[in-house]
Amino acid sequence: MLTTYRNHLLATNRSDGTIKMRVAHIESLRAVHGDLTTITEDDLVRFLAARRTTHSAEARKSMRSSFRSFFGWAQRKGYIPTDPSAELEPITVPASVPRVAPDHDVQTALITAELPHKAMILLARFGCLRLTELTTLRTDHRHGDLLRVTGKGGKTRYVPANDDLLPVLFELEREQGSGYYFPGRFGGHMHPTAVGKIITRVTGWNPHSLRHAGATAAYRATNDLRAVQELLGHASLATTQRYLHVGMDAVRAAANGTAFVTPIRSPHFPTRYSSRNAA
């Protein structure tokens, strides 16, 4: 049944990463419970609960999505009479403050970085590309100043390369020729893990923190959340909002903005509480 499900995912054009994740989750479930056709909702709840201390909320949310996908498909195809995942409660992922790579650290790293490493860093910081996206980028994906990027779920978007990124890509193309910007030693492209380790070693920050920094800078420059969403390749604005780091200066300005527009002056209302607009 699992092989048939994998073929279903392939036929419906799911990305390789999604297929690998979905199948791995179901295989983990089968390793614990054996027969997938006899699993109940309580079994799924216990499985997720047992991983509360070993897996992040985001990981368990992905597991739930895999269960919903697999058992929904299995019921439609007649493998099981009812879907045990149909009423699984959603898993809340706590909001967290994003780690943002400081511009000073990134710029300092770029001074001595080798050309390929510089391109990796700039694609993450200026292009706001995910690690897998920049690792799989090819020279024929560049059309002028536009980069054709394949993101999550196999979705394609175009990312403009700014005036600082584009010359570095030109130089890398002249030096290496056509193909992957970051070729592997034995063909294909470098593994994303290897690229991530290089970026972290050179800058002191992981690739995702550079993506966060780029998203924050883009929003500060434009105040256009929709444009930043397109740049990042997010399906929802809510996801984009979680990427934006609001500095304390912005928070302080927001706090100052709560002052009364027209203060009431009285013995019971000290002057120090008056509006910033008061005379």
> Phi-psi bin for 169: left (phi > 0), alpha (psi -120 to 50), beta?
alpha
182 by Cβ neighbours in 10 Å (0-12 / 13-18 / 19+) ranks as buried
Residue 211 is a catalytic residue: yes
Q: CB–CB of 276/259 below 8 Å?
A: yes
The catalytic residue among 211, 212, 219, 245 is 211
Q: Determine which of 137-141, 154-158, 260-264 has the lowest per-residue pLDDT on average.
A: 260-264
Once rounded to an integer, what is the mean pLDDT over residues 123-147? 92
What is the spatial distance between Cα 247 and Cα 252, in angstroms, rounded to a whole number?
A: 9
* Per-domain boundaries in the chain: 2-76, 103-243
Q: Quick one: tokens of 186?
A: 């034995």
Q: How confident is the model over 173-226, as pLDDT tens digits?
A: 999 999 999 999 888 999 999 999 999 999 999 999 999 888 888 888 887 888
Residue 77 is a catalytic residue: no
The catalytic residue among 180, 181, 219, 243 is 243
Once rounded to an integer, what is the mean pLDDT over residues 140-146? 92
Residue 208 is a catalytic residue: yes
Residue 234 is a catalytic residue: yes
Q: CB–CB of 135/181 below 8 Å?
A: no
Confidence bin at 81 (pLDDT 50/70/90): very high
Q: How confident is the model over 218-256, as pLDDT tens digits?
A: 888 887 888 888 888 887 777 767 666 655 565 566 667
Once rounded to an integer, what is the mean pLDDT over residues 81-94? 90
* 255 Cβ contact partners less than 8 Å away, ≥ 6 residues apart: none
The catalytic residue among 64, 117, 130, 189 is 130
Residues in the chain: 279
Q: CB–CB of 209/101 below 8 Å?
A: yes
The pLDDT value recorded for residue 219 is 85
Q: CB–CB of 220/244 below 8 Å?
A: no
The pLDDT value recorded for residue 16 is 80
Q: Determine which of 77-91, 246-260, 265-279 has the lowest per-residue pLDDT on average.
A: 265-279
The catalytic residue among 14, 25, 117, 208 is 208
Output the DSSP codes for the chain.
-HHHHHHHHHHTT--HHHHHHHHHHHHHHHHHHS-GGG--HHHHHHHHHHTTTTS-HHHHHHHHHHHHHHHHHHHHTTSSSS-TTTTPPPPP----PPP---HHHHHHHHHH--HHHHHHHHHHHTS---HHHHHT-BGGGEETTEEEEE-GGG-EEEEE--TTHHHHHHHHHHHH-SSBSSB-BTBSB--HHHHHHHHHHHHSS-HHHHHHHHHHHHHHHH--HHHHHHHHT-SSHHHHHHH----HHHHHHHHHTTS-SSPPPBTTB-GGGS-TT--
The catalytic residue among 25, 118, 234, 245 is 234
pTM value surpassing 0.85: no
Mean of the per-residue pLDDT values for the chain? Answer: 86
The pLDDT value recorded for residue 255 is 62
Topology of domain 2-76, per CATH? DNA polymerase; domain 1 (1.10.150)
Single-letter amino acid, residue 12: T
Q: Determine which of 6-10, 20-24, 81-85, 253-257 has the lowest per-residue pLDDT on average.
A: 253-257
Q: Quick one: tokens of 165?
A: 């990124």
* CATH number of this structure's domain 103-243: 1.10.443.10
Residue 130 is a catalytic residue: yes
The catalytic residue among 30, 152, 157, 220 is 152
Confidence bin at 98 (pLDDT 50/70/90): low
Once rounded to an integer, what is the mean pLDDT over residues 44-68? 93
Per-residue pLDDT at 269 exceeds 60? no
